Structure 1
């Protein structure tokens, strides 16, 4: 994971691209059967809630260093050890720093030691090693553990399987792991009470010093659920890569009064995911070029500024900061759902508040048309992002935090 010091923002792309499990099973099961045995045949013990949608859980969300990553605090073991974790809808496996970590773990961060927990139990294998590799080639390598997970002071569940990381590469900021909120069998959603975790929602903190919220269950429904006309259908990966991300049909963008319809710009179906682990939205090259050209036309009266490592379209507003407003932007999805972006979601600023003197278009182009299109957290600003797993729907609701 790379970080930009110029825009005070982590450019994290946490979409999982590879998952490897190697182990020797004590019960004689084939290696690929571990997930089935652990997560499907075993009902959750001491489930967090048992009524239809649960009373709900609300976790505070804070911005990670630089504001590009978003962090919740989750406890593991008994007595509980609390870990600041990136919450990531683009991956499944949750993991924390292990006490035996020998590479890449941040000094002074909390670590998990199963021998110090009274509720730790063995995963049903002699050795369960895992490797998770993310889109930016960062990795977490270690062994599986099983213990109680605590999501709030009074909410916990036994028997949760997660990674105990012994080697970490890449930049995860000053966190101690990842909370996987994808749709795969090792995610938090698959291992916990479906009456509670089939629905969740988050709003991201509007500033580095503010606090957002990650809601589950009834609290998510009450805080975020929009009308039926605003729901976007989740779809299976159109390119059949077997990914468990949240795929949607992203059909176009309107910037100012100019609408860009993607079907006239790309030759193959776009695989588009919603990802809380990626900051800046990534677009196919032809789509990004058209958006950039439209933005440049609207900014022709301002001097250009040096680009960053990721953002190539920047302008100097010095002396005119108070008079400038970003162009309006609307994202268009299947089912005739239109999502108006918050003004803060269109550009990234360098500087403090209204005095920021440099602005950059907060989108980037992919290397080729076949790469995933990713709608990242910069474009989630000012919105509440709602996931209904059972209904296979997603929504961007107005309101923010």
Structure 2
């Protein structure tokens, strides 16, 4: 009797918290949904929609016993207490930045490997890579993360530190203002343009163009012309069908100078871009924050048709200045697979009908 009453009280408290979440987003970007990951083995992670509907995202299969420090280089450019990377094979969180290096904890699909996650520094979900929390329901970079302690108070992740057994991670996933597409001229000095409703904006300039593809881990869990990963220092694109390894990466100039990425200046599998102003690109929207996600695939179904098919960025190309087309299939390491590529186009994810509310003129 007592346990039943306690469960009802906890359910009522959760319902109240969710109402407050969605109602108090204020003038900030509206919250699309919330993801809750209870740090209890066997418990179900869930996406929660504003109407209270829940979608299962896999059961918790492993818990962290430590955080990782130093984390991978780009983790220091994510806000403490937020998502640092969103990928088909991992979602990394930055807990804090210490001595110019990020301290991280990761969330992984159960049957995969992500080198950036420490051996004991991850939560595992019993979910296929590239789907659910690692697909259509993935949070973008810089998504704030809160921690609910034993069904009680909510605190920012950066204050809680390493989450503990019994805690619940809470992700407030929103949709920021982003260009509907990003055009890149693949040549030295080429423009990186973001196309917004108000018109184009110069986002960056190409320093070193792209020519080849490489064996980037995780691309085997994504399809051709789709985002394998986005973090505060990379856009990783797959050039192979699911099950095959191959892709390329786009790096900000500052990250390309790090020891971790020194080979980017010798090999052809990386495009290096730089800010057109004195503001560094790492960790900034819309390229390295708050926009790109792996997107839905396979059995992923979101809350309606537009969200299911729109929340999956697509990458197209032009070869030798020709018409826009899908990326060519290219696997393994091939230093010249994209040698004739002159343009790239990245479509940002969206969740609503593009012309919703549009009424054409009738002439009357």
Question: TM-score band, normalised by the shorter chain?
Answer: under 0.3
TM-score by structure 2 length?
0.24
Of Structure 1 and Structure 2, which has the larger fraction of its residues in strand?
1
Higher relative contact order (CA 8 A, sep 6+): 1
